[in-house]
Amino acid sequence: MKNHLEYCFARCIRLGIARGLAWGLALGMATGLVLAGPASAELIFDASGFQVIGEPYQHTVFHHEFPFTNRGEELVKVREIVDIRGTAEIRVEPREIPPGGSGRFIVQQPLDLLGSSHYRYALITDEADVERYRLTLSAFIQSAYSPENILVDFGFIDPREETLARLELFSREVEALRILRAESPPVAGPRLAGSERIGIAGEGVDQALVWPKGTAQGTHGGSLVLETNVEHQPRIVISYRANVFGRVVPSEHPIDLGLGLAGDPVEKVVTLTSRDRTAIEMERIEIPDGEVRSSLGACPGREQDLSCRRLTLEALSSVPKVLGNELQIFLSGEETPLPLRYQARIVAAGTRIKRIEISNTEAAGEAPAETP
């Protein structure tokens, strides 16, 4: 019993010391004992060069200032200021700090990526013994909306018709979310249509988006900025994607030939299907730079059905490289060629490639199994 008590007492003492050291270190960082520059620096920052700014909202701009004082006996001149990421607006006022004078390193930092982020800056002066002052803002960026990351996928659509998609959006910041307006996308993209209230108390929005007809064939994607009535985060970015194909539709797009070894061919088979079940008759295929070889044949089990064709692409490279381009299939009766993008990654010979088969999932970018 005595030995057990002595063990418990000793363990409690060790835990107390460890926790005391941890709390002491955290307190020291919070109260500015960790400075932005070395001990020989003339510029002394009022607080730590590492500042935690809490949990701000995505797509906002955070304003922060690092105040400092020249504790030396000579004039300090600012030579350069650096934003490591290159996303912020930074400046120093003033650029020359006399002995006993003070200044500010001012940051306007856009917050775009969700989750934990660190934004690093540097202040370079004419001090001989100081390489640079390092400053950091740390934040856990959150979204005022649910879902946080939004992709509206229109799937494979016919350019001869308008296509409708719906977006269900909520916010924990307001009792009733409202979408006020949308900025026009710079390229072909969807527009807002009608909306409905959803949720237990009508707190969410079921927003309709319409893809206009007449869009050029191919894969289109981009982002749409919506303005809402959420005060802390009035803008939300919606990503969108659409595979636009007319009479003839590929089974997937873009076409990924996968990963291969230098000197060995990589192959991918894609099914081309006619929407109106008319015959698919190819006149020619144009492939830039001869990167891949192609052949067109009948679909297995449907040899007499000319509305279904089997396109085989084969890529071969003697050196490691990334292949990627767009081929053009010219079809009888079509005014414009069918554009298909492809890609392949070739690695050095002898590289060991491990493949993992994942089943019971819907592959991104694949057309429906049935004829569209």
Pair 195, 162 in one domain = yes
User: What is the C-alpha separation between 325 and 257, in angstroms, rounded?
Assistant: 12
Q: Are residues 195 and 164 in the same domain?
A: yes
Q: Look at residue 21 in the predicted model and tell me its pLDDT.
A: 33
CATH code for the domain of 106: 2.60.40.10
pLDDT score at 338: 94
10 occurs within a structural domain: no
**In this structure, is residue 299 part of a structural domain?**
yes
Strands (E), 145-231: 145-146, 151-157, 163-171, 179-182, 191-198, 204-211, 218-228
Domain that holds residue 154: 145-244
Across 1-15, 125-139, 176-190, the highest mean pLDDT is recorded for 125-139
Same domain membership, residue 124 and residue 75: yes
Mean pLDDT within 185-199: 84
Judge if 259 and 314 occupy the same domain: yes
Helix (H) or strand (E) holding 94: none
Least-confidence region, from 36-50, 253-267, 274-288, 330-344 = 36-50
In the numeric block, the tokens 């707190």 are attached to 203
183 and 230 both lie in a single domain: yes
Q: Which of 244, 279, 302 is the last residue of a domain?
A: 244
Query: Per the domain annotation, does 104 fall within a domain?
Result: yes
2 vs 282: which has the higher pLDDT? 282
Q: Which of 108, 141, 174 is at the close of a domain?
A: 141
Q: How many domains does the chain have?
A: 3
Residue 252 and residue 342 in one domain: yes
Residue 37 has pLDDT above 90, yes or no: no
**Contact status, residue 316 vs residue 364, Cβ threshold 8 Å:** no
Point out which residues pair with 311 in neighbouring strands. 270, 296
Residue type, 239: S
pLDDT in tens, 40-89: 568 888 877 777 777 787 788 889 999 999 988 889 999 999 998 888 99
Cβ burial of 173 (10 Å; 0-12, 13-18, 19+) is middle
Q: What is the pLDDT of residue 357?
A: 66
Closest CA to 152 of 210, 112, 204: 210
In-domain check, residue 297: yes
Residue 357 belongs to a domain: no
The whole-model pTM stands at 0.65
Cβ atoms within 10 Å of 356's Cβ, excluding its own: 4
User: Which whole number is the average pLDDT over 220-243?
Assistant: 90
> Among 84, 108, 141, which residue terminates a domain?
141
Question: What 3 state SS string does 31-70 have?
Answer: CCCCCCCCCCCCEEECCCCEEECCCCECCEEEEEEEEEEE
Query: Which pLDDT band holds residue 359 (cuts at 50, 70, 90)?
Result: low
| 259 and 293, same domain (yes or no) | yes
Asked whether residue 218 falls in the same domain as residue 230, the answer is yes
Residues sharing a CB contact under 8 Å with residue 251, sequence separation 6 or more, in sequence order: 270, 271, 272, 273, 366, 367
Give yes or no: residues 260 and 272 share one domain: yes
Q: Which pLDDT score, from 0 to 100, does residue 148 have?
A: 83
Is 90 inside any structural domain? yes
Could you tell me if 76 and 120 lie in one domain?
A: yes
More confident residue, 183 or 305: 305
pLDDT at residue 23 in the model: 33
Regarding whether 214 and 125 lie in a shared domain, the answer is no
Q: Which residue has the higher pLDDT, 353 or 269?
A: 269
Q: Clarify whether residues 109 and 170 are in a common domain.
A: no
Indicate whether 372 pLDDT > 70. no
| Structural domain contains residue 179 | yes
